[in-house]
Structure 1
Amino acid sequence: MAGRDAAGSVESGMRVGLGTGSTVAHFLLHLGDRIAGGELSDVVGVPTSIRTETAALELGIPLRTLGELGALDLTVDGADEVDPGLNLIKGLGGAMLREKMVAQASRRMLAIVDDTKLVGRLGERAPVPVEVIPFEFASHLPWLERMGAEPVVRRSEDGSRYVTDNGNFVIDCHFAGGVPDPRAFDEALAGRAGLVESGLFLEMADEAVVAGQTGVYRMTGEDSR
């Protein structure tokens, strides 16, 4: 339901960032239907992962790169957690680096979630994913522990280390009761060599489309900022 609602936000001529994940997959289906049916024209997308690129091409959604388009009109993406100020945790699908690059190039970001993703504090349910280069990646674990996290190297289903589309590893940072200070943690991560990007999307989303038991509604975080 949230995917259909979000697809209705796309207008002809828009340059749209295409997120990654199961909720976004529904958005892509509805966007593809609107394009195929002639309801939309001159819409181009920028995918945030290989699987989104593959799905979009199969659905007939024209694709370009950020280098070709520059600024985007809108990015539609899912989230693993959303707090009352519309701050997000993303990256359980492993695409947070490309997702953040596309989101920061967009005039607006629309998050699509179900109401189980709404939390009072970031990190209550989901870990904060941190993408790291493979070189000496384990050296970050003691440092992350000193930052108050319980770091776990992400594994694939076969037990091997999970590898992102960029060839990097992911360390999932768990916090009992949530991240005490997301901004401070994000800034600390940004200042450490070898850590590529985190799944903290702070003050990046403009609106969320939320699917609940009683239907779909929209929320903004302006009153909480």
Structure 2
Amino acid sequence: MSADLSPIDIAKFAAAKRASGFVEDGMRVGLGTGSTAAWLVKCLGERVQDEGLEITAVATSSQTAKQAQEVGIKVSSLNDVKWLDLTIDGADEYDDELNLIKGGGGALLQEKIVATASDRMIVIADSTKKVATLGAFPLPVEVLAFGMPTTQLLLEEMLNGLDVMGNKATPRMAGDALFVTDEGNHILDLHLGRIGNARQLALILNQVPGVVENGLFIDICDVIVTGYGDGTVETRDINSGETDTAQFLPEPVENVFRDAGV
């Protein structure tokens, strides 16, 4: 085991390695964005090289598309593929009902479109992402550049009447400039503390003018693959109710994904 890998890195690798086993030859696969998803792309690239695995991937960001192409994975667009067998992606938080907060990496719009255009969504995460109640992680909301300050005020006013602990919305920055998504939009991060009714909030957020999409993924995830620092992986299928465990430890490698984001 490489000394370069922290327990969190090992957990991310283990979850990605386990999830890569769900991918079968000929599948159309959505690939997520972030550091855990980057491990997945690496694992799938090894299967392409070692086993001759042939898949068509749809990436949820330009960053993931570039990495996938570099490891020999065929990348196409959702416009061409239209529907996917499987999407595998990370999460910033998930609860017992497999509701998610996503968008820490800024790709929530493409991630949600790709996930909902799939027969199944598998989420890969380290054990720190599991929470009793969503909301400690700031909830990303993708918004149009036009009227963004007004949208921010509308969101903060709307949150006052909902079952959340906070109502502060802050524009996401990239250095000294506003963060820009792949679609040319911006992101407001909502600092809620606790989300009492995630389903209600997801529906209401998208009614605010200027909001493109929010980072609450409700009733989308089918399977959660949770990695732990010792390489143990727990896989839970919410539809069948089945849970299994396994262990995956990485070969000594340089941790090239440390700066890839969450």
Instruction: Give the TM-score normalised by the residue count of structure 2.
Output: 0.81
Q: Which runs of 5+ in 2 are unaligned?
A: 1-13, 161-166, 242-262
Alignment of 1:41-190 (within 5 A): 41=54, 43-123=55-135, 125-146=136-157, 147-148=159-160, 149-156=167-174, 158-176=175-193, 178-190=194-206
Residue correspondences, number? 219
Q: Which residue of 1 aligns with 2:28?
A: 15
CA distance in 1, matches of 2:237, 2:25: 24
Q: CA deviation at 1:190?
A: 1.5
Distance 1:143 1:6 in 2: 40
The question of 1:34 aligning with 2:47 is answered: yes
Whole-angstrom distance in 2 between the partners of 1:79 and 1:168:
21
Provide the secondary structure at the position in 2 that maps to 1:27.
Answer: helix
Shift of 1:193: 2.1
- Give the residue type in structure 2 aligned to 1:13: G
User: What percent of counterpart residues are identical?
Assistant: 42
2:3 corresponds in structure 1 to none
Output the CA distance in 1 between the equivalents of 2:96 and 2:15.
18
3-state SS of paired residue (2:156): helix
Q: CA offset at residue 85 of structure 1?
A: 0.3
| Kept in 1: contact 2:155–2:208 (CA 8 A) | no
CA deviation vs aligned residue, 1:108-133 (integer Å, no higher than 9, x gap): 0000000000001111x201100001
Cα deviation, residue 69, structure 1: 1.4
- Runs ≥4 in structure 1, deviation > 6 angstroms? none
Contact 1:132 1:195 in 2 (8 A): yes
Farther-moved stretch of structure 1 (190-199 vs 200-209): 190-199
- Greater shift, 23-32 or 205-214, is seen at 205-214
Which of 1 and 2 has higher RCO (CA within 8 Å, sep 6+)? 2
Residue 204 of structure 1 corresponds to which residue in structure 2? 220
TM-superposed deviation, 1:37 = 1.4
Question: Could you say what secondary structure the match of 2:208 adopts?
Answer: coil
Q: Matched residues in 2 for 1:188 and 1:45: separation? A: 32
SS at match of 1:97: helix
Q: Which residue of 2 aligns with 1:25?
A: 38
2-structure distance, mates of 1:39, 1:111: 25
CA distance in 1, matches of 2:20, 2:237: 18
Displacement after TM superposition at 1:141 (Å): 2.0
Equivalent residue for 1:219, pick from 207, 232, 236: 236
Alpha-carbon distance, 1:40 to partner? 1.6
Per-residue CA distance 1:4-29 (angstroms, 9 max, x = gap): 11111100010000100000000000
Alpha carbons 1:84, 1:221 under 8 Å: kept: no
Judge conservation of contact 1:45–1:62 (CA < 8 Å) in 2.
yes
